[in-house]
Amino acid sequence: MPITQNKRRIKVQHVIGEGTAQIDVVRNIQITRPVIVDGETVLEPIVVRKIADVDSELIELDYEILPNKVIIKGALHKQIFYIEEGDYVVREYTVMREEFTDFVHIEGAKPGMDALIDAQIMFIDTSAANGTFPTSTIHQSAVLSVTVKVIEILQLDVVTDVTGPGITVEKELFNVESVVGEKEKQATVSAEHTLNEDARKIYDMDAVCRDLDYEILPGKVIVRGTLHKQIYYVDDEDSSVQEQSFDDPFSVVIDIPGAEPEMDAYVKCKVEFCEANLMATNANGVTNRVKANCILQVFAKVTELIELNIVTNVKGAAFDRRRVRVENILGKKCGQENVNQSIDVNAPADVEGITVRKTRNLTARIRNVTYEKIQNKVIVKGLIHVQAYYVSCEGEQELRETSADIPFTTFVHFDGITPDTMVDVTERVEYTDLKLEGESCQTTNVRAIAILEICVRAFEMKEFVVVVDVKDTVPVVPPDECPPSGFFSYTVVAGDTFYSIAQKNQSRVPGITAHDIQRANPGVDPRRLRIGQVIRIPCVVGKG
Measure the CA–CA gap between 404 and 81, rounded to whole angstroms. 13
In this prediction, residue 77 carries a pLDDT of: 86
Measure the CA–CA gap between 187 and 73, rounded to whole angstroms. 23
In this prediction, residue 102 carries a pLDDT of: 93
DSSP-assigned letters across all residues of 459-489: EEEEEEEEEEEE-SS--SS-TT---TTSEEE
DSSP-assigned letters across all residues of 422-461: EEEEEEEEEEEEEEEESSTTS--EEEEEEEEEEEEEEEEE
- How many angstroms separate the Cα of 413 from the Cα of each of 330, 335, 430, 456? 14, 8, 20, 9
DSSP-assigned letters across all residues of 379-414: EEEEEEEEEEEEEESSTTT-EEEEEEEEEEEEEEE-
Q: Which domains are seen in the chain, by residue range?
A: 12-154 (no CATH), 178-304 (no CATH), 331-461 (no CATH), 476-538 (3.10.350.10)
Instruction: Respond yes or no on whether the N-terminal peptide bond of residue 478 is cis (omega within 30° of 0).
Output: no
**Residue 83 is inside which H or E element, if any?**
strand 69-84
pTM for this model (two decimals): 0.66
> How many residues does this entry show for the chain?
544
Burial 57-90 (b: 16+ CB within 10 A, else e): bbbbeebebeeeebebebbbbbbbbbbbeeeeeb
Measure the CA–CA gap between 131 and 211, rounded to whole angstroms. 35
Cα dihedral across residues 122, 128, 130, 131: positive or negative: negative
Q: Residues 277-310: pLDDT tens digits?
A: 998 777 677 888 999 999 999 999 999 888 888 9
Q: Residues 93-118: pLDDT tens digits?
A: 888 888 899 999 998 899 988 888 88
Cβ atoms of 47 and 135 closer than 8 Å? yes
Q: Give Cα 73 to chain centroid, integer Å.
A: 13
**Amino acid making up residue 109:** A
Ranges under pLDDT 70 in the chain: 1, 283, 348-351, 395-398, 472-481, 542-544
Burial of 277 (0-12, 13-18, 19+ CB in 10 A): exposed
In this prediction, residue 296 carries a pLDDT of: 94
In this prediction, residue 532 carries a pLDDT of: 83
Residue 135 DSSP one-character state: B
DSSP-assigned letters across all residues of 192-243: EEEEEEEEEEEEEEEEEEEEEEEEEETTEEEEEEEEEEEEEEEETTT-PEEE
CA atoms within 13 A on the CB side of 274: 21
Measure the CA–CA gap between 180 and 541, rounded to whole angstroms. 32
Residue 527 DSSP one-character state: G
What lies within 8 Å, CB to CB, of 283 at 6+ separation is: none
* Structure-derived torsion over alpha carbons of residues 247, 253, 258, 264, reported in degrees to the nearest 10: 0
In this prediction, residue 483 carries a pLDDT of: 79
In this prediction, residue 436 carries a pLDDT of: 93
3-class SS at 522? coil
3-class SS at 263? coil
